[in-house]
Amino acid sequence: MGIGTHIRRIISIITWSLTGAGVLVLLVAAIRYRNNNTCKGVLIGISAPPSATFIGKKDIASLLTPAGAVKIQDRPIQSFDLRHMETTLEKNIWIRKARLFFDNNGILHVDVTERTPATRIFTNEGASFYLDSEGVQLPVIAALPARLPVFTGYPSKTVSHQAPDSHHAPDSLLTQAILRLSRFIRNDSFWTAQIAQVNILPDRTFELEPEIGDHRVIFGDGNDIGPKFHRLFLFYSEVLSRTGFDKYERIDVSYAGQVVATRKGSGQSRYDSLQGMNNIRQLIRTAQQLQPDTVRQQAVRPLEHNTMTEQDLENHDLLPGADSAVKSKKTTKIK
């Protein structure tokens, strides 16, 4: 290796060293300039559904500048402990995540992600609260009602603030099932319109109360939610849309591949039955137009035949209420 090569290498090392030192000096100077500069203002952003915001910009500003604290604007930037301010904001139950930073113009950006209620809970003791998608308990604000699935009969007064996948949280398995069922109902316009509330039974299974029809749906536990609603939708469209929604007092979809219907006594109002049929037919048509690719619409087949008469229903696939009849008579099987 010649002398010229050594010289070029030395020159290259010196050049890169000087360049790196220059960049470092400029970076330090920029940081010092920014830290010695003052806050020129605050820009607050809230990530939340437009239909319901449970914490406002004034609320966030008051958390950042509590009574007696120095105002944010015109304070030196270096005096801000952004991490501590983020932690302070996240202590508020409605704030899921907070991120603070200064831009090059000295503006403090406060980006907040709000917790959004996913379901409304009523306990056996009469208390009421929201749950968000992570199972965190949120207070009910009367001035800001949320249109959400309603669950009644929750066995505990409160829900742990731990994530629902934590097996150490009280009632964590029930909470997980509630959130799964609530999410399915919220994501389906038909069931959002049809399910008035969900009752939690003592054995921690679910019973659905419909908006249209004087019957109860025995749903079972929180597993196989999609197939259960699929069978229920087929039963609505193939049976109840023809016979009326007040003929049966119980519709049980808890058994895999089956729908077990229990007929109630005679004497219901023909007007109510006809009105219920018309209402549910409209719901079904709307659901088919809005969501042709949902679980209940995929490979939709009739229960047993394309057309059914009252005689067919009585003799073919509907059961009386006794448990012994479930074993002795043929059930409706929907795959």
Residues 127, 59, single domain; the answer is no
Q: Give me the pLDDT at residue 119, please.
A: 93
Q: Quick one: which H or E segment has residue 331?
A: none
Confirm whether pTM is higher than 0.95.
no
Measured between alpha carbons, how far is 190 from 284 in angstroms, rounded to an integer? 7
Q: Which residues of the chain have pLDDT under 70?
A: 1-6, 8, 10, 17-18, 20-36, 50-52, 67-70, 143-146, 160-170, 265-335
Last residue of a domain, one of 114, 131, 164: 114
Q: Give me the pLDDT at residue 273, please.
A: 43
Structural domain boundaries enclosing 51: 41-114
Residues 138, 179, single domain; the answer is yes
pLDDT in tens, 146-199: 678 999 999 988 875 455 444 444 478 899 999 999 999 999 999 999 999 999
Domain count, the chain: 3
Q: What is the CATH number of the domain that holds 230?
A: 3.40.50.11690
Residues 6+ apart with CB under 8 A from 327: none
Average pLDDT over the chain reads 75
Residues 134, 47, single domain; the answer is no
Q: What is the CATH number of the domain that holds 65?
A: 3.10.20.310
The strand order across the sheet containing 128-132 reads 137-138, 128-132, 117-123, 150-154, 195-200, 206-210, 216-220, 248-252, 258-263, 332-333
Q: Give me the pLDDT at residue 258, please.
A: 87
Give, in order, the Cα–Cα distances in Å from 307 to each of 163, 279, 295: 48, 20, 23
Q: Give me the pLDDT at residue 278, please.
A: 62
Measured between alpha carbons, how far is 185 from 229 in angstroms, rounded to an integer? 10
Q: What is the DSSP letter of 25?
A: H
The identity of residue 79, as a single letter, is: S
Tokens representing 168? Answer: 């150490």
Residues 94, 163, single domain; the answer is no
Measured between alpha carbons, how far is 134 from 117 in angstroms, rounded to an integer? 10
